[in-house]
Chain A
Amino acid sequence: MDVCSPLPSALDFVGVARLTCRLCPKQQQAKAACGFLGPQSPPAGRSLLTLDLDSADGDRDQGTATCHGAARQTRESARAADWQERPGGGSGLVSEQQESWSNSMGGASCPVDEQQDPRQERPGGGSGPAAASAVLDFSDPFSSEVKPRILLMGLRRSGKSSIQKVVFHKMSPNETLFLESTNKICREDVSNSSFVNFQIWDFPGQIDFFDPTFDYEMIFRGTGALIFVIDSQDDYMEALARLHLTVTRAYKVNADINFEVFIHKVDGLSDDHKIETQRDIHQRANDDLADAGLEKIHLRNERGKAMGQTEFLFLFQNSGIEKAFLFDVVSKIYIATDSTPVDMQTYELCCDMIDVVIDISCIYGLKEDGAGTPYDKESTAIIKLNNTTVLYLKEVTKFLALVCFVREESFERKGLIDYNFHCFRKAIHEVFEVRMKVVKSRKVQNRLQKKKGATPNGTPRVLM
């Protein structure tokens, strides 16, 4: 990818594009800023988006590497780090939160933002990553597209941080044993490394709702979803009580929040016990909330595997494809599938396949000097099973892959499948391009507004 070429499609930007870094003159600075040394070494001490995670296997960090985006992100997370490391206490917490809240609402001066601006003035769309991240910038205070927020709540040791790390940071479940208790609210952005874009707020277990310094109104107002994690191996009566309390409070503030209950750690239970537990919790929770009028409680019980919610129809019958998923490669969440029902085993097999492909590509798929990324434009994989099924994986965008199940006979006509896939891929790219254009124009508008002299909190200034 050439630096000065016109801006590539939104999802080609940062995230996995190490190549652009090499050509960009700002590279040295970016490297220093993000502390990222190369594909072999994990980011020194911290990953780019979070503060306390070293990926267990240094080789795999390439998926989450960024360059210029990182300069921005690490500064932000550095601020967040200060915020987190300050000694505990109620009052401390509130002021910090308010500060970060006001930042994301376009508040106080954001020194990092200024630094981005000169880059954007460069002709031709500017250096790929920086400009792209500016264009599709979800963390920009002036972006009108505020990232949806997801809250992770639950009792102590129920598994909230583990869930987040395993799903979004490729941590192996074994390593979560070593995770320490979360004692501060940990805010994480899941965007640059993955297709899914949102913020996750990981709460400590013992949250006191009645502590006046904890401003829940503010938190709940901006929240899109609240995930409550219940440890199924523990006595869950207390968890249910807290669930009730949390949900009622949150609902009062913001009736649009989606509530999800994760019944976690079910791998330790036997199958019928699982079902029994699920039913029991479901029943009790619903009874409790019947008077609040909340009926939509969805129950999920997979360890570390959250399922995407959007489904849209697309026709692949002509190619003889039995089942297809559009997967986000990093988090292994599928964002779309066809209309046939999904069963867990198929889904797990696809996840395993993605794992295999990425692992093998990490070993052999990098260039001699370590450049390149394991998952790139040409990534494909074909796995033939002995029950005449063929698993076919093809790259769609930088973060998405199409994984489909094809019958062996249909696979004979691979050329047809490839052609149909090609059309599909083009269509997906067009969809994203449109979206990006919309955001870009909105961005330009905002910038114009800003130039006109809107004050940080939005009130227009009088033009001199």
Chain B
Amino acid sequence: MEESDSEKKMEKENLGPRMEPPLGEPEGSLGWVLPNTAMKKKVLLMGKSGSGKTSMRSIIFANYIARDTRRLGATIDVEHSHVRFLGNLVLNLWDCGGQDTFMENYFTSQRDNIFRNVEVLIYVFDVESRELEKDMHYYQSCLEAILQNSPDAKIFCLVHKMDLVQEDQRDLIFKEREEDLRRLSRPLECSCFRTSIWDETLYKAWSSIVYQLIPNVQQLEMNLRNFAEIIEADEVLLFERATFLVISHYQCKEQRDAHRFEKISNIIKQFKLSCSKLAASFQSMEVRNSNFAAFIDIFTSNTYVMVVMSDPSIPSAATLINIRNARKHFEKLERVDGPKQCLLMR
């Protein structure tokens, strides 16, 4: 069947090598029970059937282009995928099929299994849905289950397929929905995003989601800030390597375009996909004109960096050397945090 093939394909693409416990300790031994689970974050992806959950997941994590999602079939029950993120973080993504029978199942017999230990719940609403009552009913059932089993979970609501709405009405409709959802979610807090697989809003939403899951994001940002100040950059962005979601950034002055992060994610990801048609992938990029110079390069084993300089008199070689030197520092940062965090947890 097609969808099980696609599932298999995605499983293969996402499952990276299992993380080895450091110091050669055997897995599962008393000292290291947690590393594999401590850095595994469970993400629930729920929503009505046909709302776009599997499509979104394929685009962000499995390198599908928007057009390819057309051939995805209905998800049967729950599809698990493990996404390696930033080396020491594994996202355990539970894509739950949205058909009625499955949904009923989740709330009854599979309740504990599904709703326990959840870090993030992503609920997807189809903006064109004609059964708003039913959607809200299911959403509330989810929330109840979450409240019982994982009260600390973060909740994200995505109002999806916004491209089907007229452009001038999009803000209005989204605001309405957002208010309703906020109201319904009390006492839990939810963050709402409007998304569409055809533009950059998808990246914005998922960037924010993933940002919440990164364990040492403050430290990353501090280091990024130092780096930027030393090399006199206008802006420095850190992207996750496979998905090109912006995980951290620093800017030294106000930039005009507030949506640039997701736009850049989108632009680069599209280019990456078109390179792959030629069985190649891009390693680095430099774009300049008389007002700026931007450098995109591989940074650590899990990240890309983008450095934007507004002083065109600084030769590219200088910036490239700086990036190269910073690389070692950030690599160390990434490596150190993993086990240290685990030690703390133990």
Contact = CB atoms under 8 A, between A and B. Distances in A.
Contact of B288 (A59, A379, A384, A389): A379
B64 to A, nearest CB: 16
Contacts of B308: 364
Contact of A381 (B267, B277, B278, B286): B286
B289 interface: yes
Interface string B290-313: 111010000000000000100010
A386 B234 CA distance: 28
Contacts of A363: 257, 260, 263-264
Nearest to A365: B289
Given A174-B198, A349-B274, A374 B283 contact: no
Interface size class of B (residues with CB under 8 A): 35 or more
Interface string A143-168: 00000000000000000000000000
B285 A365 contact: no
Given A349-B278, A386-B282, A389-B280, A360 B287 contact: yes
A368 B285 CA distance: 24
Given A363-B260, A383-B282, A372 B290 contact: yes
A375 B292 CA distance: 11
A384 B282 contact: yes
A353 interface: yes
A437 interface: no
A365 B292 contact: yes
A278 interface: no
A356 B271 contact: yes
Nearest to A343: B278
B114 interface: no
A349 B285 contact: no
B275 interface: yes
Contact of B281 (A356, A365, A385): A385
25 contacts: A59-B257, A174-B198, A345-B277, A348-B277, A349-B277, A352-B274, A352-B275, A355-B267, A355-B271, A357-B287, A359-B263, A360-B294, A361-B292, A364-B234, A364-B308, A365-B291, A372-B290, A374-B289, A376-B290, A376-B291, A380-B289, A384-B282, A384-B283, A387-B278, A387-B280
A377 B281 CA distance: 28
Nearest to A352: B274
Interface size class of A (residues with CB under 8 A): 35 or more
B71 interface: no
Interface of A: 59, 174, 345, 348-349, 352-353, 355-357, 359-361, 363-368, 370, 372, 374-387, 389
A360 B267 contact: yes
Contacts of A377: 290
Nearest to B267: A359
Which 3 pairs, one residue from A and one from B, show the smallest C-beta to C-beta distance? A378-B290, A385-B280, A379-B289
B270 interface: yes
Interface string B252-263: 000111001001
A376 B292 CA distance: 11
A383 B287 CA distance: 8
A378 B268 contact: no
Among B268, B288, B289, B308, the one with the most A-chain Cβ atoms within 10 Å of its Cβ is B289
B263 A382 contact: no
Given A355-B271, A380-B289, 19 more contacts: A349-B275, A357-B287, A359-B263, A364-B260, A364-B292, A365-B291, A376-B289, A376-B290, A378-B288, A378-B312, A379-B288, A380-B288, A383-B284, A383-B285, A384-B285, A385-B281, A385-B283, A386-B280, A387-B280
Contacts of A364: 234-235, 255, 260, 291-292, 294, 308
Contacts of A366: 256, 291
A384 B274 contact: no
B289 A386 contact: no
A372 B292 CA distance: 11
Given A378-B312, A389-B280, A361 B274 contact: no
Contacts of A356: 267-268, 271, 285, 287
A382 B275 CA distance: 14
